[in-house]
Structure 1
Amino acid sequence: MAGLNKCCYSRIFIRKMFKVRRFHNALFGLLVGLFCLTIYNKQSNSWDAKDTSELLSEEIDSQESYMSGRKFQELNERTQHLNNEEEVDIVYTWVNGSDPDFIRNFEQLMKNEKKSKSDIVALNRYNDWGTLKYSLRSVEKFLPWIRQIFIVTNGQIPYWLTLNNPRISVVMHEEIFENRSHLPAFTSPAIECHIHKIHGLSKRFIYMNDDIIITKKLQFSDFYSEKEGHKLRFIQERLEHCNALCPANNVNNGICEVNCTTASCEFDGDDCKRFKELPAYPGTDKDFLYDSWSGSLRHTHFILNKAFGPRDRYIPEHAAILIDKDLFADLIKSFREEWEITSSTKIRHHLTIQPEFAYYNYLIILGQSRAKGVKTTRIWTKKNAEKIDFFMDDRGRIERLMQYKLCRRELLLKQPKFLVFSDHFNRVLYDAEKREIQDSLRTFLQNMFPKASEFELK
């Protein structure tokens, strides 16, 4: 009996020891984790102590860029497939906003339009950061099935671009604008009204801006397939209100509503036209007077409400999009007057059409009514990690270098389809600042695409 008790006590003692050891192991692991986290934070916070050139060479100029990773290359080898189904072209719109003649003409136009000095910040939209060269390199590397590339400009030609390559053409605004009185054009919506008129353009083409970089192998089926139809990429955000009390779907719905009789809701569209005097709006509209881009989205939404009835509509993602030029032309014919206003508007304005928003939502309407054999599939780019946004803004030099580092990590982790650079500067930039930003961005992109494309002068 005594031997049995000893055995039981031994087992109890062993179990307690195991529990103590497990606790000690867990505690040890926690301490090690906290130690590593402290070291990481110290390293992360040591950016301020490093020389800027060292940061660039360490984080951007390293020989082992994210493009050279073995796993990344293996992934691309699996997806290498040329599109042999149909010929597809690419259309870019590009302007060099740093050109002195362009700046002088733009500032004169702003003066004629009686815009204030603060509106000169609008020039930031036209900054040329040198991304077109690397966008073309990304197209050559990741979209080898593209037939022809068209660059639509106001007459400017990038100094590094070769005109001897038969696969690339520069198209002047004069070649596609039917009404020459609408020129010169300083807004992208005005130019986008006419890109489908490029001579020799394929029936379906990809439209891109120069700030879009392709970051992995894409097939034509990433834009269109017989089973899924047009693949439409959206921001996961719909147009909700045009003021605090009026949902955007209530404008042009056939009912005159007091809550929609404000400038931001275009005074309820045509719903209240039969009344001589508009009822007073029982609130304030000041917080809902949108910038020209947001306002033009709502204006386009109201136009589509009137033609096709109110419904929820989402905002297209800023990425490469596939356009069927016949369907695009049909859309323009349906709203001829509105497109003429957009084409003739020389400065961004809220009472103009947003072509991409109109086209995407027009395709959805056709798809839902099964008209013209159109099918659509919606893709939420953020949910599917298809795109990375790189915001060019007022952050300082060191913070921007850290931004490159984080972007590189994000590219490795997400392996998206698109990397997009967009301006968010809230002030006029000095020339020295522009040069610094251009140099750091060039270094970052050169690391991604070190090999010159066939479209560059040798």
Structure 2
Amino acid sequence: MRPIYRFAPKPLRRAVIGLIPQARRMSLTRRLSRSRMHLSIAAPGNTRIVRDERALVRATVTSATPLALRRSNLDAAIDAMRRLGIPYFRVTSANPFGTAVGVPLSAQGKIRTELARLLEGDTRYSLRWRSVDDSTTRRRSGSGVILRVFQAVSAPDGRAVYGQRFGCDIEFWTQRGERLMAPRKNPVTPEVDASRPVTQAPEHVFGSFAGPFDDKAYQTRDEFTVTPPDRVTFPVDAVYTWVNGDDPAWRERKHAAMVEHTGVNTLNPMAASDSRYTNRDELRYSLRSLQENAPWIRHIYIVTDDQVPTWLNVSHPKVTVVDHKEIFGDTGKLPTFNSHAIESRLHRIDGLSEHFLYVNDDMFIGRPVTPDMFFSPNGLSYFFPSPAMVDLNPASVKDSPVDAAAKNNRTLIERHFGKTTVRKMKHIVYPLRRSVLAEIAQSCHAEVEATASHQFRHPSDLSITSSLYHYWAYCTGRAVPSKVSYMYADLADPSTPLRLSELISNRDMDSFCLNDTDADAVPLELQHRVISDFLATYFPNATSLELPKATPQLHRQRKESDSSPPQQPDPTRSASV
């Protein structure tokens, strides 16, 4: 059944997962077991047959990032051209995750007969001839095919397949006089001047997936050293806010703050829900998702309350741990256990780029993406509205913290721009601009400073990064709405294990969120097992941001001394505004 399920058409797999009403009648343990049924584990170093772009290919079971695989394919193709004595030049590819090199059409026969033999000793690489889809360009150039050099890599579960999408295309360019004609369209030019010598250009010139800091040089033509205006070239950082709710010192600080808090009875019960602070190493896997699927991120800042993950490589040049004291300074009130307060200070991070992504540790990048999914090339940020609505009643203590903050945001937007906001935002990676956050802090000084002063979520808080920023930037012409392939999964929902199994099989989401709650529907211990199994399967490869031999803490259970009565699900995690 496993091979049948794995290679079945997507609609059929969805139909299988659609049997959720029957799944709800299973015991929770059996349901989790069924979600594991579709996994077929292979040992590293083995090869296996997998599906890649509607074709069956032989893949090596090993760890590899898309960026490393992309570069390996490119270097293999270039090395082959050099060994065969064929002149070549790097071409800007229309596929941001793949690469391309141009060679003379006259070399096609030699490549057909010699390249396979040249790579024969290296079983990692495959060759696939493909027809050129652009018939107009093909008629101009005379070439109707390209050759893709690629290697297929599979994670041990057989689902994470990196293959042809990250391959290097060898294009056969036709010479007409002193012009070389392209066999298909590319983002820069259909022809180049053959009389001019080749030149060198760094990796980032050819696209934004590798990031603006990648300076490895490649041989190319002058025409491909230009930067089109539709490419993101500015640096983009990432910011996480993180807490380890199992840390005894932190728990003591929280308890002392709650005892001293004079307005506890005026807070919504969800304001200090334990689910907001549970730590199951989600940050480790979220960082893996970022390193693997968004390698263009320049720097990562992790904002904490005098805490550092035990597995984090703090000496890594790409990561900086920022303590609350550094961004609060003489503002607000510390210690704070209010994410709204912490988020109101993010623009004060020293060295933070103008454009950055704000990420919670329950957010993940599900597949390779480029920065233009979050920012337009001219610097506008994108936001992702949710179909969920905010009622038009005034904010009160009866509202969940997320709804109360949404209503407070609305009041400010009405005051400054005369428009009424009614929609929430998806709980997804938030693209932000530092200058806009600073402008909000100045223009709404009293409200922002009050939010920073609340140690726990308060009915008068603003939710700046998840909602207010996006509407403010939109009303001032610095943000626009966009769409994204996204999935939200509530770990307290009995259907979640099967939905996650489907996600592992398809890997078709740009981003997803795994929200944990203190609901009765699924015990916390089972939630821990679900998220641990899923994340270890989806992101199995450690990165250089982790210390060697740092083992993920799987199946963590809350200590009995830490137990508390079950609370209602916290919508502040499931439906951000």
| TM-score computed with the length of structure 1 as normaliser | 0.69
Match status 1:123 vs 2:251: no
Quote the Cα distance in structure 2 between the aligned partners of 1:156 and 1:49.
Answer: 34
Distance in 1 of aligned mates of 2:399 and 2:538:
37
SS at match of 1:241: coil
Distance of 1:226 and 1:80 partners within structure 2: 10
CA distance in 1, matches of 2:423, 2:468: 10
Q: Check whether the contact 2:390–2:424 (CA below 8 A) recurs between aligned residues.
A: yes
Q: Give the match for residue 539 of structure 2.
A: 449
Residues 236 and 314 of structure 1 are in contact (CA less than 8 Å); yes or no, is this contact kept in structure 2?
A: yes
More helix by share: 1
Which residue, out of 450, 457, 465, partners 1:341? 450
Change (3 A) 1:146 1:306: same
Q: Name which of 81, 98, 108 aligns with 2:209.
A: 81
2:211 alignment partner, SS class: coil
State the AA in 2 paired with 1:141.
E
**Cα gap change, 1:171/1:237 in structure 2, threshold over 3 Å: closer, same or farther?**
same
CA distance in 2, matches of 1:49, 1:195: 40
Give the aligned residue type for 1:137. R
Q: After TM superposition, give the deviation of residue 61 of structure 1 in Å.
A: 6.9
Instruction: Name the count of aligned residue pairs.
Output: 360
Q: Which deviates more, 232-241 or 192-201?
A: 232-241
Residues 457 and 439 of structure 1: is their aligned pair in 2 closer, same or farther, counting only changes over 3 Å? farther
Partner of 1:388: 487
Alignment equivalent of 1:93, drawn from 219, 237, 241 = 241
1:238–1:312 CA contact under 8 A, matched in 2:
no
Match of 1:303 in 2: 412
Is it true that 1:379 corresponds to 2:482 in the alignment?
yes
1:215, distance to aligned residue in structure 2 (A):
0.5
Q: What amino acid is aligned across from residue 274 of structure 2 in structure 1?
A: L
Q: Which residue of 2 aligns with 1:365?
A: 475
CA drift at 1:181: 5.6
Q: Secondary structure at the match of 2:325?
A: helix
CA distance in 1, matches of 2:491, 2:32: 20
Q: After the TM superposition, which residues 186-265 of structure 1 pair with which residues of structure 2 at under 5 Å, given as runs?
A: 186-226=337-377, 229-242=380-393, 264=394
Cα 1:237–1:42 change in 2 (3 A) is closer
The 5 A counterparts of 1:273-422 are 289-356=398-465, 357-367=467-477, 374=478, 376-381=479-484, 386-393=485-492, 399=494, 403-410=496-503, 412-413=505-506, 415-422=508-515
> Contact (CA 8 Å) 2:357, 2:431: kept in 1 or not?
yes
Aligned to 1:237, the other structure's residue is in SS state strand
One-letter amino acid matched to 1:418: S
- The aligned counterpart of 1:111 is 259
- Decide whether the 8 Å contact of 1:174 with 1:180 is kept in 2: no
The answer as to whether partners of 2:285 and 2:539 remain within 8 angstroms in 1 is yes
Residue aligned with 2:387, SS: strand
SS at match of 1:224: coil
- Letter of the 2:481 partner, please give it: R
Structure-2 separation of matches of 1:105 and 1:427: 28
* Cα distance in 2 for residues equivalent to 1:436 and 1:50: 8
- Residue 171 of structure 1 corresponds to 322
Cα deviation digits, residues 265-322 of structure 1 (max 9, x gap): 57xxxxxxxxxxxxxxxxxxxxx93112211110111122112213344322211122
Match of 2:223 in 1: none
| 1:23-46 deviation line (CA, Å, top 9, x unaligned) | xxxxxxxxxx9xx99xx8999689
Report the residue type matching 2:496 in the other structure. Answer: Q
SS in 1 for 2:476: helix
Q: Is this contact kept in 2: 1:60–1:443, CA < 8 A?
A: no
Distance 1:205 1:189 in 2: 18
Q: Which has the higher contact order (CA 8 A, sep 6+)?
A: 1
Q: C-alpha separation between the residues in 1 aligned to 2:502 and 2:432?
A: 32
Counterpart residue type for residue 358 of structure 2? Y
Whether the 8 Å CA contact 1:299–1:352 is kept in 2: the answer is yes
The whole-number CA distance in structure 2 between the counterparts of 1:317 and 1:241 is 19
SS, match of residue 213 in structure 1: strand
Q: Tell me the distance in 2 between the aligned counterparts of 1:311 and 1:132.
A: 35
Separation (CA, whole Å) in 2 of partners of 1:342 and 1:308: 21
Aligned partner of 2:306 in structure 1 is 155
Q: Structure 1: how far apart are the matches of 2:268 and 2:480?
A: 42
Cα pair distance change 1:428/1:410, threshold 3 Å: closer
Deviation at 1:115, TM superposition (A): 3.6
* Contact 1:83-1:219 at 8 Å conserved across structures: no
Q: CA deviation at 1:408?
A: 2.5
Distance apart, 1:186 and its partner CA = 0.6
5+ residue gaps, structure 2, are: 1-11, 43-153, 169-206, 213-232, 549-577
Preserved CA contact (<8 Å) 1:130 1:438: no
Work out the CA distance in 1 between the residues paired with 2:290 and 2:275. Answer: 26
Q: Residue in 2 aligned with 1:252?
A: none
State the identity as a percent: 22
- Unpaired runs of 5+ residues, structure 1, are 1-32, 243-263, 267-287, 368-373
- Residue in 2 that maps onto 1:14: none
- Aligned equivalents of 2:458 and 2:268: distance in 1? 16
2:528 aligns with: 438
SS in structure 1 of the partner of residue 457 of structure 2: coil
Partners of 2:335 and 2:235 in 1: CA distance:
32
How many angstroms apart in 1 are the aligned matches of 2:512 and 2:373? 16
1:134 to partner: Cα distance: 0.5
